[in-house]
C-alpha cells in the first residue's frame, strides 16, 4: 500500500546530508548530486511497509521496520539517526531483570529540548518528519484561537461554536490538543477571553501527529527520543491532572484509531469466550454501542467520551460493572503497544509478561503508546435500580440534620451493597453559600443482573430508615433487560472544561467499616469537608480482582475499596496569587490530608496532581515493581507525565509548590 520507492528513498536519504546543518527556514532538500528540491509528497514518501500480523487491525499492518529504514539509509548518511530505533533497548522480549535498573547514566540537570533551543528541529526537519508520516503532522493552533481577533485565525462563527459547546467533551476530543482540565495548560487561550486578551500556546504541545497507522507512532517515538523532544500521548484530553498536554512537546494523537472488532470465541490461558478488540481511540459510548449491537455487555466508564483503550484502562478504570467484574484493566487479554525503543509488540499472558502486568493499571503515557487492546465481554443481562434528586437546606423539608443522617445511614450499608454487586453513583454539590443546603443526585444506584423486586428487597431497610429520619425524596425505579438502554437513559452526560477548579480523590477500604468508631469519625470528617465547600462525587463499588484474572499493576488500594470519593472545589476568577495558593493548598494539605488516615489510596485518573507520596496513593504496593519495569523499558524517560510511574525525577520549570502546570520546560531534578 504505502512503501518507499527507490527514487524517493534516494532523494530522501540525500536530505539528511544537510539536515543537521540546515539553518535555512526554506523546506528544501539538497540531494546527493547537489540538486535542490522542495521537500514534498513527490520527493519524500511515508516510511512504512505492509507487514502481515495475525489478528492485526488495519492501522496495525503499516509499520516502520528495519527494512524501511535500510532503504532510507542506503547511502550511509548519518542523519537518518533521527528516525532509527533504539538499539540499546532492542530486546524484543522485555523481561525485567530484578536486580538491575538502567544501564545508562542518568545525567543531572538535563532538560528536554525546547522551542528556541539550539537542538530544536529546524523547519526542514519538521517538514521531512511530516512527509515521512504521510502528512500527519499538525502544528498546534489552540482551540480557542478562533476567538482572538489578533491570532491570525480569528473566525466569529467558529468562535461561537467553540463557546456554545465548551462544556461538551466531544468538542475537545475532536481537537488534536484541547484538554478538559484547562488549568494545567495555563488557560492561555481560553475562548471566553478572546476579545480582551492574547492567545498563547502555554502548556499546549508544539506539534501533534494525527495517528492513523502504527508507523506514524513509531516515527514520532523515535524522532522524539533521538532529538530529546518532550513526548506527550493525547487521546481525548479527559485527563484531570494535565497528563495529556505539555509545553514544547511533540504529541501523539490517538483519537482516530477507531477500529472495533467483535470475536465470538477467543482463548488465552486464563479465559475462553467472546472478546472485542478496540483501537486506542475508541470511546466509552462507541464501545457500549458496539457491544449492544453484538448482544453483549462491555466494561467501561460512565461518561461516553472517555477513551477506553487510552487513559481509562491504563489507569485501572472503574465501571458501573466494577462490583461484579472488577476494573476495566482486569478485562484486558492482550495489548498492542509501541515501546520507547520504537518497536511494536504485543503484551499478553504469554509474551512480554512484565509489560502486560504494568500496562493494566500502571498508568497512561508511561510505558509506551498502546494502539489496541483486546477485552473480555459478557452476556447480555438485566439491570435494576433507581435515580432521584433531593434538595436540602432551610427552604426544603430536608434540614441539614435530616440530610446528613440519611447520608450516614446510606454510607453504613456500603460493604453490604457492594457484596451484592451494587454500583451507587451520586453527587453532592452545595446549592450556594454555606448553609444554603445541597443538591444530592443519584445517577444511578443500580445492580447489574438483579431484578427490580430483588433490588427493592435489598434497599428496603435503608428506605425505611430514611423515612423514619424524615428524608423527603421520590425515587424513579427502573428495570431494563440490557446495559445500553439503562446507560443511555439513567446516566448523566457530564460537563467538562471548567476553569478555576481542581479535584482530588480517596478510596475508603472495607477495614473502615470493621470499627464503628473509626467509621463514624470518617463520616463526620467527610461531612465537615463538604460543609467547608467541597463537592462530593461518590461511588459505592468494590472493584475486587475476580478469580482467574491475571495479576496486574493496577492500584492495590482499589481491591478492597467500598467507597470512592472525588472531592474538590473551585474559586472565583481573578483572585490573588496568595488566595490561589490557599485554595489549592486546602485541597491537598487540608482536605485530602485529613482523609488519608482512613483512605491512603487515591485514583490516579481522578486524583490530585499534588498528591503527597503519589506512588503509594495511586499504585499501592505495586509501585516498586512498576518503577522497576519503567526503568527497564524506558531508562531515559522518553515518556513522562505528572504523577506517572517514575515521574519524580523530572519537573516542569517555573511552577509554584502548590500546583504543577504543563507550561514550562521539562528538566531533570538534581538528586
Ligand atoms: C467527564 C469524565 C468522566 C469520567 N468517568 C470515568 C469513569 O467512569 N471511570 C473511570 O475510571 N474514569 C473516569 N474518568 C477519568 C478517566 O479515566 C481519565 O480521565 C482517563 O485518563 C481518560 O483517558 P483518555 O485517553 O480519554 O484521556 P487523555 O487525557 O487523552 O489521556 C489520559 C492519559 O492517558 C494517556 N494515554 C492516552 N492514550 C494512550 C495510549 N494509547 N497509550 C498510552 N497512553 C495513553 C495520556 O498520555 C494521559 O496520560 C472520567 C473523566 C472525565 C473528565
Ligand atoms: C525498499 O526499496 C525497494 C526498491 O524500491 C522496494 O522494492 C522495497 O519495497 C522497499 N522496501 C521497503 C521496506 O520499503
Ligand atoms: C476502634 O477504633 C477506636 C479508635 O481508633 C479504638 O479506640 C478501639 O479500640 C477500636 N475498637 C476495636 C473493637 O478495635
- Burial track 30-42 (b if 16+ CB lie within 10 A, e otherwise): bbeeeeeeebeee
Neighbours of 551 (CB within 10 A): 11
Do 491 and 302 form a contact (C-beta atoms < 8 A)?
yes
Compute the distance between CA of residue 54 and CA of residue 446 in angstroms, rounded to an integer. Answer: 40
Q: Counting ligands in written order, which one lies closest to the CA of residue 366? A: 1
- Burial track 425-440 (b if 16+ CB lie within 10 A, e otherwise): bbbbebeeeeeebbeb
Gap from CA of 563 to ligand 3 centroid (Å): 21
Report, in angstroms and rounded to the nearest whole number, the Rg of the chain calculated over CA atoms: 26
CA dihedral over 346, 350, 354, 357, signed as positive or negative: positive
Q: What's the pLDDT score for residue 35? A: 66
Q: Counting ligands in written order, which one lies closest to the CA of residue 515? A: 3
Compute the distance between CA of residue 470 and CA of residue 403 in angstroms, rounded to an integer. Answer: 9
Q: Which helix (H) or strand (E) holds 608?
A: none
Gap from CA of 518 to ligand 3 centroid (Å): 7
Do 221 and 242 form a contact (C-beta atoms < 8 A)?
no
User: Residues near 668 by Cβ (< 8 Å), separated by ≥ 6?
Assistant: 106, 107, 108, 109, 110, 111, 649, 650, 651
- Protein residue closest via CA to atom 11 of ligand 3: 515
Compute the distance between CA of residue 6 and CA of residue 13 in angstroms, rounded to an integer. Answer: 10
Compute the distance between CA of residue 205 and CA of residue 428 in angstroms, rounded to an integer. Answer: 35
Compute the distance between CA of residue 395 and CA of residue 355 in angstroms, rounded to an integer. Answer: 56
Reduced to 3 states (helix: H, G, I; strand: E, B; else coil), residue 287 is helix
Compute the distance between CA of residue 70 and CA of residue 381 in angstroms, rounded to an integer. Answer: 53
Gap from CA of 3 to ligand 2 centroid (Å): 6
| Cell 539517526 found at | 81
**Helical segments of 447-496, H only:** 452-469, 483-490
Do 639 and 231 form a contact (C-beta atoms < 8 A)?
yes
> Which DSSP string do the residues of 310-348 spell out, in sequence order?
IIIHHT----TTHHHH--GGGGEEEEEEE-TTS-EEEEE
Compute the distance between CA of residue 513 and CA of residue 129 in angstroms, rounded to an integer. Answer: 57
SS3 content of the chain, % helix, strand, coil (to 5): 35, 20, 45
Neighbours of 100 (CB within 10 A): 10
* 611 pocket-lining for ligand 2 (C-beta < 6 Å): no
Gap from CA of 40 to ligand 1 centroid (Å): 36
Gap from CA of 16 to ligand 1 centroid (Å): 38
Gap from CA of 9 to ligand 2 centroid (Å): 9
- Protein residue closest via CA to atom 10 of ligand 2: 4
Beta strands in 293-449 (DSSP E): 296-297, 332-338, 344-348, 369-376, 378-379, 383-391, 423-430, 438-448
Nearest to 337 by CA among 306, 365, 317: 365
Gap from CA of 60 to ligand 2 centroid (Å): 19
Beta strands in 60-118 (DSSP E): 62-63
* 238 pocket-lining for ligand 1 (C-beta < 6 Å): yes
CA dihedral over 437, 441, 446, 451, signed as positive or negative: positive
* 2 pocket-lining for ligand 2 (C-beta < 6 Å): no
Gap from CA of 515 to ligand 3 centroid (Å): 6
- Protein residue closest via CA to atom 19 of ligand 1: 239
Cα 664 to Cα 262, 602, 628, 654: the distances in Å are 43, 26, 28, 6
* 39 pocket-lining for ligand 2 (C-beta < 6 Å): no
Cα 391 to Cα 394, 395, 472: the distances in Å are 10, 9, 9
What is the position in ligand 2's atom list of the atom closest to the CA of 6?
Answer: 5
* 518 pocket-lining for ligand 3 (C-beta < 6 Å): yes
* 516 pocket-lining for ligand 3 (C-beta < 6 Å): no
Reduced to 3 states (helix: H, G, I; strand: E, B; else coil), residue 514 is helix
Reduced to 3 states (helix: H, G, I; strand: E, B; else coil), residue 457 is helix
Beta pairing, strands 137-139 & 207-210: antiparallel
Cα 303 to Cα 191, 232, 308, 312, 599: the distances in Å are 24, 23, 10, 11, 25
- Protein residue closest via CA to atom 35 of ligand 1: 364
Compute the distance between CA of residue 611 and CA of residue 650 in angstroms, rounded to an integer. Answer: 16
Compute the distance between CA of residue 282 and CA of residue 304 in angstroms, rounded to an integer. Answer: 10
- Protein residue closest via CA to atom 39 of ligand 1: 310
Nearest to 245 by CA among 256, 234, 229, 230: 234
Q: Counting ligands in written order, which one lies closest to the CA of residue 597? A: 3
Compute the distance between CA of residue 651 and CA of residue 662 in angstroms, rounded to an integer. Answer: 10
Q: Tell which one of 179, 230, 235 to mutate to probe ligand 1, the residue whose CB is within 8 A of the most ligand atoms.
A: 235
Gap from CA of 64 to ligand 2 centroid (Å): 12
Gap from CA of 516 to ligand 3 centroid (Å): 8
- Protein residue closest via CA to atom 10 of ligand 3: 515
Distance of alpha carbon 460 from the chain centroid:
38
Q: What's the pLDDT score for residue 106? A: 36
* 49 pocket-lining for ligand 2 (C-beta < 6 Å): yes
Nearest to 448 by CA among 578, 555, 325: 325
Alpha carbons within 13 angstroms on the beta-carbon side of residue 325 total 24
Q: What's the pLDDT score for residue 575? A: 94
Phi, psi at 489, each rounded to 5° = -90, -35
User: Residues near 38 by Cβ (< 8 Å), separated by ≥ 6?
Assistant: 27, 28, 29
What is the position in ligand 1's atom list of the atom closest to the CA of 243?
Answer: 49
What is the mean pLDDT of each successive set of 10 residues along the chain, which is 671 residues long?
37 44 52 67 82 78 87 53 75 37 40 93 88 96 97 97 97 98 96 92 98 97 94 98 98 98 96 98 98 98 96 98 98 97 96 98 98 98 97 96 98 98 97 92 97 98 98 97 96 88 96 98 98 96 97 98 96 93 97 98 98 98 98 96 97 95 94 56
Distance of alpha carbon 317 from the chain centroid:
10
All structural domains of the chain: 260-379 (3.30.465.10)
Reduced to 3 states (helix: H, G, I; strand: E, B; else coil), residue 158 is helix
What is the position in ligand 3's atom list of the atom closest to the CA of 516?
Answer: 1
Neighbours of 197 (CB within 10 A): 15
Nearest to 640 by CA among 603, 617, 665: 665
Do 39 and 27 form a contact (C-beta atoms < 8 A)?
yes
* 50 pocket-lining for ligand 2 (C-beta < 6 Å): no
Angle (CA) 397 591 430, round 5°: 25
Q: Counting ligands in written order, which one lies closest to the CA of residue 10? A: 2
Do 618 and 363 form a contact (C-beta atoms < 8 A)?
yes
* 1 pocket-lining for ligand 2 (C-beta < 6 Å): no
Q: What's the pLDDT score for residue 197? A: 87
Gap from CA of 38 to ligand 2 centroid (Å): 22
* 72 pocket-lining for ligand 2 (C-beta < 6 Å): no
Q: Tell which one of 239, 363, 366 to mutate to probe ligand 1, the residue whose CB is within 8 A of the most ligand atoms.
A: 239
Gap from CA of 333 to ligand 1 centroid (Å): 19
What are residue 570's DSSP bridge partners? 501
What are residue 49's DSSP bridge partners? 63
Nearest to 366 by CA among 312, 314, 327: 314
- Protein residue closest via CA to atom 7 of ligand 3: 517
Gap from CA of 252 to ligand 1 centroid (Å): 15
Gap from CA of 67 to ligand 2 centroid (Å): 8
Gap from CA of 96 to ligand 1 centroid (Å): 27
Nearest to 408 by CA among 279, 520, 516, 517: 520
* 47 pocket-lining for ligand 2 (C-beta < 6 Å): no
Do 592 and 598 form a contact (C-beta atoms < 8 A)?
no
Amino acid at each position: 500500500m504505502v512503501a518507499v520507492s527507490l527514487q524517493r528513498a534516494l532523494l530522501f536519504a540525500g536530505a539528511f546530508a544537510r539536515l543537521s546543518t540546515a539553518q535555512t527556514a526554506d523546506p528544501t532538500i539538497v540531494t546527493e548530486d547537489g540538486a535542490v528540491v522542495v521537500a514534498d509528497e513527490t520527493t519524500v514518501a511515508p516510511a512504512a511497509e505492509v507487514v502481515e500480523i495475525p489478528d492485526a487491525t488495519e492501522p496495525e499492518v503499516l509499520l516502520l521496520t528495519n527494512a524501511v529504514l535500510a532503504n532510507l539509509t542506503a547511502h550511509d548518511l548519518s542523519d537518518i539517526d533521527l528516525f532509527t530505533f533504539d538499539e540499546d533497548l532492542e530486546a524484543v522480549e522485555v523481561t525485567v531483570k530484578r536486580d538491575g535498573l538502567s544501564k545508562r547514566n542518568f545525567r543531572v540537570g538535563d532538560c528536554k529540548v525546547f522551542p528556541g533551543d539550539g537542538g530544536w528541529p529546524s523547519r526542514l526537519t519538521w517538514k521531512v518528519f511530516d512527509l515521512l508520516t504521510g502528512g500527519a503532522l499538525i502544528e498546534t493552533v489552540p482551540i480557542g484561537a478562533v476567538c482572538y481577533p489578533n491570532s491570525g485565525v480569528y473566525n466569529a462563527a467558529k468562535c461561537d461554536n467553540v463557546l456554545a459547546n465548551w462544556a461538551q467533551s466531544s468538542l475537545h476530543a475532536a481537537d488534536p490538543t484541547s484538554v478538559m482540565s484547562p488549568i494545567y495548560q495555563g488557560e492561555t487561550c481560553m475562548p471566553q477571553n478572546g476579545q480582551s486578551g492574547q492567545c498563547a500556546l502555554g502548556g499546549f504541545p508544539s506539534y501533534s501527529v494525527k495517528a492513523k497507522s502504527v508507523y506514524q507512532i513509531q516515527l514520532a517515538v523515535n524522532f522524539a527520543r533521538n532529538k530529546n523532544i518532550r513526548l506527550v500521548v493525547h487521546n481525548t484530553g479527559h485527563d484531570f491532572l494535565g497528563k495529556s498536554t505539555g509545553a514544547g512537546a511533540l504529541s501523539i494523537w490517538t483519537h482516530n484509531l477507531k477500529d472495533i472488532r467483535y470475536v465470538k470465541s477467543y482463548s488465552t490461558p486464563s479465559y475462553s469466550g467472546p472478546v472485542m478488540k478496540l483501537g486506542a481511540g475508541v470511546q466509552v459510548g462507541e464501545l457500549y454501542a458496539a457491544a449492544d449491537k453484538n448482544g453483549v455487555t462491555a466494561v467501561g466508564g460512565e461518561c461516553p467520551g472517555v477513551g477506553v483503550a487510552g487513559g481509562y484502562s491504563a489507569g485501572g478504570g472503574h465501571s458501573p460493572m466494577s462490583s461484579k467484574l472488577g476494573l476495566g484493566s482486569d478485562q484486558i487479554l492482550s495489548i498492542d503497544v509501541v515501546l520507547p525503543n520504537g518497536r511494536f509488540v504485543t503484551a499478553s499472558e504469554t509474551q512480554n509478561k512484565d509489560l502486560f502486568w504494568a500496562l493494566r493499571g500502571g498508568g497512561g503515557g508511561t510505558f509506551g503508546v498502546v494502539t489496541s487492546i483486546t477485552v473480555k465481554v459478557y452476556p447480555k443481562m438485566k439491570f435494576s435500580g433507581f435515580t432521584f434528586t433531593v434538595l436540602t437546606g432551610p427552604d426544603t423539608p430536608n434540614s441539614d440534620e435530616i440530610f446528613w443522617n440519611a447520608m450516614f445511614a446510606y454510607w453504613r450499608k456500603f460493604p453490604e451493597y457492594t457484596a451484592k454487586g451494587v454500583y451507587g453513583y451520586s453527587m453532592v454539590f452545595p446549592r450556594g453559600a454555606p448553609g444554603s443546603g445541597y443538591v444530592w443526585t443519584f445517577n444511578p444506584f443500580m445492580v447489574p443482573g438483579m431484578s427490580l423486586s430483588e433490588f427493592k428487597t435489598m434497599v428496603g431497610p435503608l428506605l425505611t430508615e430514611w423515612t423514619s429520619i424524615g428524608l423527603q425524596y421520590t425515587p424513579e425505579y427502573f428495570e431494563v433487560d440490557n446495559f445500553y438502554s439503562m446507560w443511555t437513559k439513567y446516566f448523566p452526560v457530564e460537563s467538562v472544561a471548567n476553569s478555576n477548579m481542581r479535584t482530588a480523590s480517596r478510596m475508603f477500604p472495607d477495614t473502615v467499616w470493621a470499627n464503628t468508631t473509626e467509621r463514624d469519625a470518617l463520616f463526620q470528617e467527610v461531612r465537615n469537608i463538604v460543609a467547608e465547600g467541597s463537592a462530593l462525587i461518590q461511588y459505592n463499588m468494590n472493584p475486587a480482582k475476580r478469580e482467574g484474572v491475571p495479576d496486574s499493576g493496577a492500584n492495590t488500594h482499589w481491591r478492597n475499596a467500598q467507597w470512592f470519593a472525588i472531592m474538590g472545589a473551585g474559586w472565583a476568577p481573578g483572585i490573588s496569587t496568595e488566595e490561589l495558593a490557599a485554595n489549592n493548598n486546602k485541597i491537598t494539605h487540608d482536605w485530602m490530608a485529613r482523609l488519608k488516615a482512613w483512605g491512603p489510596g487515591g485514583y490516579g485518573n481522578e486524583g490530585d496532581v499534588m498528591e503527597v507520596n503519589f506512588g503509594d496513593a495511586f499504585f499501592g504496593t505495586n509501585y516498586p515493581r512498576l518503577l522497576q519495569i519503567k526503568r527497564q523499558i524506558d531508562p531515559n524517560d522518553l515518556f513522562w507525565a505528572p504523577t506517572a510511574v517514575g515521574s519524580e525525577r523530572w519537573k516542569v520549570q517555573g511552577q509554584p509548590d502548590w500546583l504543577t502546570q504543563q507550561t514550562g520546560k521539562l528538566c531533570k531534578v538534581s538528586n
